Amino acid sequence: MQEFRIGPRERLVLMAILEMYIATGEPVSSQAVARYFEHRDGLSSATIRNVMASLGEAALLDQPHTSAGRVPTARGFRYYVEMLQSGARAATADAGLLDEQQRGRIQQSYSGVASPTEFLERTSHVLAQVSNSVGVALARHGTEPVLEHIHFSQLAAGRILAVLVTREGAVQDRLIATRQPWSASELDAAGNYLNENFRGWRLDRIRAELDERLEQERISYDRSLRALNELYGQGALNAEPAVPAVYVDGMANLLAGGLAGGMDREHLRQMLAMLETRQRVIELLEAFVHAQQREVRVVVGLDDAVPAMQDMVLIGAPIRIGSRAAGTVAVIAPTRIQYEEMMRTVGYIAQISESMLDEARPDGTRLGEARFDETRPDR
């Protein structure tokens, strides 16, 4: 297909059609566009029809039926997103920011959240609510586990079983070979010390703190904790990184309010089955939302990679804690979505996620008490 150059007139007409289609879900006629530009010079009904025909030839618009109006194609939606991201639609310098009321509603939605798991679950729900579509929150590979509970028990002479439960819900067993047998009371003392002092801490931070305390001999001189020296030295806290955790909410939204559009029953069944398969959702996010990026990513035409996702769009952003990739937040929705608002919302939630997920601090501050950084702009 010959490359089509979009001039100012074509851009105006295309953006008008896209916004009318997003608002109504109905094919847009030339008469509707003419009414939209009723007082604009140089855009007569004949001109608008010619422009719409050119946009159709460029595969930016489609005509479902001969007598019907036009609807945007995936290529048309991509162009619309490019215009939003380039700032061509920005009316003010702060057009990329959520207003104070919207930020306040989102912050209030996290009231009472006290753990990373709760935060991710709540995030998928918040995204589903604000988008009226599907909200997704993912914790990526490599996220350091957070201690919920640890227990030691003696299996045989010189064989200790360490059962580590993480706040992410994983249970990991580790068999530890020791140089001497330890009594049940000594093993209990070691477990209690860790649970009472370090519950809610990331394991890497626990190890760093124990190294410091051992260096200062604060543990070595406590005879009731002799077992802890050896158990820690044998890797009792060297758990495997948490497996990716993904939380999906709002699939019922695709069935309500006509969001499924004209989707046939089999297509809808395949799409819901894909969203219910956690591994497929993880693969979808990791294919399109890269940890290195900082901005919100909008992917129109997901069916190129996942046929079941025809007529769907992904709006996602990575969560980073320092230089570490911590996860992804995203909305999966029909292409008829309020792009600008959702891009702002996803970007803002990714921003606050970075501070709220960097919890398990040595000072014991709860996750829900993390400060929102209002000085940082939305991405």
- In a domain? residue 19: yes
Number of domains in the chain: 3
195, 214, 233 — which closes off a domain?
233
**Same domain (yes/no): 23, 107:** no
**Same domain (yes/no): 301, 194:** no
Distance CA 12, CA 367 (A): 46
What confidence score (pLDDT) does residue 13 get?
Answer: 93
**Same domain (yes/no): 264, 363:** yes
- In a domain? residue 282: yes
What range does the domain containing 123 cover? 100-143+243-369
**Same domain (yes/no): 134, 169:** no
Q: What are 105-157's pLDDT values in tens digits?
A: 998 999 888 777 788 899 999 999 999 999 999 987 555 778 999 999 998 88
**Same domain (yes/no): 109, 152:** no
pTM of the predicted model, to two decimals?
0.69
Q: What is the CATH number of the domain that holds 153?
A: 3.30.390
**Same domain (yes/no): 135, 157:** no
**DSSP letters for 7-30:** -HHHHHHHHHHHHHHHHH-SPBPH
Q: What is the CATH number of the domain that holds 21?
A: 1.10.10.10
Could you tell me how far CA 233 lies from the centroid of its own chain? 37
Helices vs. strands in the chain: H and E counts, helices first: 12, 10
Residue 304 has pLDDT above 90, yes or no: no
**Same domain (yes/no): 296, 342:** yes
Are residues 334 and 310 in contact, defined by beta-carbon separation less than 8 angstroms? Answer: no
Phi and psi angles of residue 10, each rounded to the nearest 5 degrees, phi first: -65, -40
86, 110, 128 — which closes off a domain?
86
- In a domain? residue 378: no
The upper half-sphere exposure of residue 8, i.e. CA atoms within 13 Å in the direction of its Cβ, equals 2
Q: What are 207-266's pLDDT values in tens digits?
A: 999 988 877 766 655 766 788 888 988 888 887 765 678 899 998 888 775 444 556 677
Q: Could you tell me which residues are beta bridge partners of residue 138?
A: 246, 328
